[in-house]
Amino acid sequence: MKRIFALLFLLPALAFAWEPTKPVAVMVGNTPGAGNEIAFRKLAEIVQKNNPKFTYVVLNIPGADSVVCNNRFTEADADGHTINLPSHMSSYVTNDIWEKKVKKYEWDTFVDVLTMGKSPLTLVAHPSSKINTPQEFVRRISTTREPINIAVGGGAHRTAYEYLMEKGKGNRDLIKPIKFNGPMPAVQSVASYDGKAGTEFGIMPIAVARPLVEAGKVKIIGFTGTRKMPQYPDVAMLKDVAPGINVYAAWSIQLPKGTPNDVVEWYQREFARAVRSEEYKEWRRQNVVFYEEDELTPAGLKKHMKELRDTFLPVLDKIDLDTYLNSNGVAETQALNWTKELQISTKKNPVRDKIYYWGNQDFFDYSKNNDYKLFIN
């Protein structure tokens, strides 16, 4: 009898447990096709099998290495119907260095739910390149007498680039990182290289580069991190020429500050179940993605983020800011002709115009008074 009364007591709580009641806005600070969006779509597909009411709309909001997206996320309602998919190195580490003048949030402003997955970064080259190993790449960047452009698509990618340049004694007068708004246009730039247009090399997650690798459009030179990927057992490790390059592309789910605990618990429970599922395990195997069990809780994810910052901030803080800013957007004229209308707000200058995502239009001028303007060609 006591058990029956206990169950009856719980019924109201169970009946009114939070669940989505309308489509969830999923904010992504990259152009379409980035790893965070790919991983989320697969997990959402699994979550929907147990929660048919869960529907969503992806909002791709690129610009300033996710800062435009994250700044807008600070204004989101904390009702569970808006979430953000940050890339770890960009949102938790490099935004505090290279975009600190324009961001409106701290690394721990938002509610971290769990990590969706991690993917090693890969140094890739166009198939026509004569470079095939990390050792050959380092020899090239240290002895080159001709300019070399290397495509990067985010904070993690730029971090790997800096390790390669520092450890490989790259010629910074001739070698430049070309910053794209996400890994997809970056890898497209490598695939389209013809000796003049495009970029001969690029750094991006293997989860994004894999289709073009398998199609023979780009080739892998080496992986970041310390673990060999069973899908590519013969690929060399970049740590052999750049010790400490233990950086991965990693993506998580965030909720706005002030989100009620029952909402946080719903996302953590349902998405952790999806991450651990056999269906996602097979997807991870195919796409070279892994996860850490202790990052499937808010507390574990927060601990990992602090460790990430403690490891990389001292290294990246030495990089010349002006050099980085001058690299932004230089080669984004390699374009798929996609346009979207995007509302971007700053404190002083609300702008509404068309953003040509893979053109050279959405980069920022860092003025002396720390304000910024959006330039539209």
Tell me how crowded residue 306 is: count the other CB atoms within 10 A of its CB: 12
Q: Is residue 36 part of a domain?
A: yes
**150 to 17, 153, 295, 312, 355: CA distances (angstroms):** 49, 10, 32, 21, 24
pLDDT at position 24 is: 95
Task: Please state, in angstroms and rounded to a whole number, the distance separating the CA atoms of residues 69 and 82.
Answer: 12
Strands 219-223 and 111-125: antiparallel
For 184, phi and psi rounded to 5 degrees? -65, -50
Q: For residues 328 and 363, what is the distance between their CA atoms, to the nearest angstrom?
A: 7
Tokens of 19: 């669940």
Q: What is the CATH number of the domain that holds 191?
A: 3.40.190.10
Q: Are residues 90 and 129 in the same domain?
A: no
3 within some domain? no
104 lies in which domain range?
A: 20-119+250-327
Rounded CA separation 311/217 (Å): 34
Total-model pTM: 0.75
Residue 132 has what pLDDT?
96
At 201 the pLDDT is 96
Nearest CA to 140 out of 165, 119, 121, 158 is that of 165
Instruction: Please name every residue paired with 105 in a beta bridge, in sequence order, or none if there are none.
Output: none
pLDDT of residue 307: 87
Give the residue from 240, 267, 286 where a domain finishes: 240
For residue 92, give the CATH number of its domain. Answer: 3.40.190.150
CA-based R_g, the chain, Å? 21
Shortest CA distance to 221 belongs to which of 200, 192, 207, 194? Answer: 200
- Averaged pLDDT, groups of 10, the chain, 377 residues long: 53 65 93 89 96 94 86 94 91 79 87 93 96 96 94 85 89 89 88 90 90 94 89 91 87 96 97 97 91 91 87 72 44 26 30 27 27 25
pLDDT of residue 133: 96
Are 115 and 255 members of one domain?
yes
124 with 102, same domain?
Answer: no
Instruction: Note whether 170 and 143 are within 8 A (CB).
Output: no
Tokens representing 1 are 């009898």
